Amino acid sequence: MVSRRDTLKSLLLTGMVVGAPNCLRSLHAAEPATQALRVPALETGRLVFGERIFDLRLQSGVTRFYQDVETASWGINGSYLGPTLRVRNGEQVRIHVHNSLDEDSILHWHGMNVPARSDGGPHQHIAPGATWSPQFRVRQPAASCWYHAHTMHKSGPQVYRGLAGMLIVDDEHSDTLGLPTEYGIDDIPLVIQDRIFDRDGQFVYPERMQDHMVGVRGNTLLINGTLNPSFRASRPLTRLRILNGANARNFTLALSNGASFWQVATDCGFMEQPLELTQLVLTPGERAEILVDTSGSEAFKLVNIPVPEPDIPYYGLFTDLLRAMDRQPFDILEIHPSGIAVTGMPALPDKLATIEWLPESAATAVRSIRLQMGNGPGQGGGLGGGPHARREYGGWGGGIHKINGREMDPAYIEATIIAGTTEIWEIINETPMIHPFHIHKVHFQILDRNGEPPLPSERGFKDTVNVPALGSVRIIAHFSGPGDPLMPYMFHCHILEHEDHGMMGQFMLI
């Protein structure tokens, strides 16, 4: 006998796109066709004696991603994700983070140039019932940053359950650009995440070794925690602050009608001028602000387009997983334009920012950062030879993620950097998959990737960079003070399972 549920199940299965390693697509009957995009609450805190104070609470709860299904989830001041925090360059900020969960956690302010003690990372934790109150002065230009759990060995599962949010920095210059700035109206954050739901509509965080080797990828997208979202524009031009908030998946963004959009900001702030694009790749942790023409009347979609099968040599057990990675197309957001007719191109500022490009000659040190998977000679046997045999490339298959031959060790400092100096880091990917490499505190510039100039979409300040399989990227960064000889900063792969399993290191700024 075929039940109604089974029919729905097979209907959903035939409509399902294959390619994700973990195809446990939710089979619950109540998947909504489309629903209004949720926009996280905007939180500006309270001003007390010139200090902007925020109160955040890490909490568990239930969220209705599916109609009539309560999914157990975590959030910050809510049941899933957190509010968008808004601060201004020059302001003194204090954030009280209270942990109402029943396990340790910590929040990190990704993209923020803050003192090491306020940065939030694996050396710090907030015990259940405790409150942590980092403070800092905002010392950086306008940007779309974010915050997320950064607990030792647990960033992956904690972010997956919902501990993340956006953090917007404004400054005087951004006020004068004439860009869309009405939060929730024409200035919209988009947190893109992929998840796996079980048949009962509950999150599944896979624990299989192979999921952790390549990073946890889901087959269902949540955008600001909305399943199948749609957005109704009311202005002819809409600014999207896009965060790849996935644990591991890379997204290649495009508009379904083939139209152009304009990128105005990279991770850490405005670009020199708007960049017209039809495609944009964001790896986990990266952000971009784009302007989308919403003047017409025909609905279109922001979509993820699948990348072609990568040409990778044979890596045994993981070959199929690597080939399937990021090949799943997704609709990200249905957009209903405003219907407001404008003639010609939208009016965009010709100049957004002045960027001082750091010359290589400014660097007083050059460091090599080697990203590695596997356990070196003698481990992970049974893999193919070929041009990238594992011995030559530092290993593949041992299940251990490393930087410069070492798993994250809280007692080991990879680099001690004098505040006020500039360095070049060469990040060398010895593995057959992309790693998004992130450095805390600093905003860097990309010098080159595999010897070629960075993409136009990367010409600006960055804190996370796509390091291609078996390739390398050179970045240059100015390490401003203040230093702290007792608390290190992290650098790591932003595939959260890689970070959790050891592809992380530390520098001390003194």
Residues lying near Cu ion in the complex (CB under 5 A) = 110, 435, 440, 493, 495, 498
Q: Which is nearer to ligand C2O, 280 or 490 (CB)?
A: 490
Using CB under 6 A as the binding rule, the residues of this chain from 439 to 458 that contact ligand C2O are 440
Nearest in space to 283 (alpha carbons), one of 238, 321, 253: 253
Nearest in space to 110 (alpha carbons), one of 68, 80, 150, 50: 150
Neighbouring C-beta atoms of residue 340, cutoff 10 Å: 14
Among 287, 388, 492, 498, binds ligand C2O (CB under 6 A): 492
Residue 435's binding partner, choosing from Cu ion, ligand C2O, none, with beta-carbon cut-off 5 to 8 A by kind?
A: Cu ion
Residue 285's binding partner, choosing from Cu ion, ligand C2O, none, with beta-carbon cut-off 5 to 8 A by kind?
A: ligand C2O
Using CB under 6 A as the binding rule, the residues of this chain from 303 to 322 that contact ligand C2O are none
Q: Give yes or no for residue 195 binding ligand C2O (CB under 6 A).
A: no
Residue 150's binding partner, choosing from Cu ion, ligand C2O, none, with beta-carbon cut-off 5 to 8 A by kind?
A: ligand C2O
Beta strands in 347-503 (DSSP E): 365-373, 401-403, 415-417, 421-429, 435-439, 444-449, 464-467, 472-479, 489-493
Determine the size of the site formed for ligand C2O (CB under 6 A).
Answer: 10
Helix (H, G, I), strand (E, B) or coil at 250: coil
Q: Give yes or no for residue 28 binding ligand C2O (CB under 6 A).
A: no
- 262's CB contacts (< 8 A; 6+ apart) are 274, 275, 276, 277, 290, 291, 348
Q: Which is nearer to Cu ion, 224 or 283 (CB)?
A: 283
Q: Which is nearer to ligand C2O, 291 or 504 (CB)?
A: 504
Using CB under 6 A as the binding rule, the residues of this chain from 324 to 363 that contact ligand C2O are none
Tell me, what DSSP letter sits at residue 462? Answer: B
Neighbouring C-beta atoms of residue 255, cutoff 10 Å: 19
- Answer positive or negative: Cα dihedral of 480, 150, 433, 203: negative
Nearest in space to 237 (alpha carbons), one of 184, 291, 185, 288: 291
Residue 493's binding partner, choosing from ligand C2O, Cu ion, none, with beta-carbon cut-off 5 to 8 A by kind?
A: Cu ion
Distance CA(208)–CA(195), nearest Å, equals 15
Among 150, 154, 435, 462, binds ligand C2O (CB under 6 A): 150
Question: How far from the centroid of its chain's Cα atoms is residue 121's Cα?
Answer: 16
Distance CA(354)–CA(359), nearest Å, equals 15
Q: Which is nearer to ligand C2O, 150 or 390 (CB)?
A: 150
Candidate segments 261-269, 274-282, 303-311, 489-497, binder of ligand C2O by CB under 6 A: 489-497
Per DSSP, the residues of 346-383 read PP--S------PPPGGG-SEEEEEEEEES-STTSS-S-
Tell me, what DSSP letter sits at residue 83? Answer: P
CB of 41 to Cu ion, least distance (A): 23
Among 335, 490, 503, 509, binds ligand C2O (CB under 6 A): 490
CB of 117 to Cu ion, least distance (A): 15
Among 98, 108, 388, 501, binds ligand C2O (CB under 6 A): 108
Residues forming the site for ligand C2O (CB under 6 A) = 108, 110, 148, 150, 285, 438, 440, 490, 492, 494
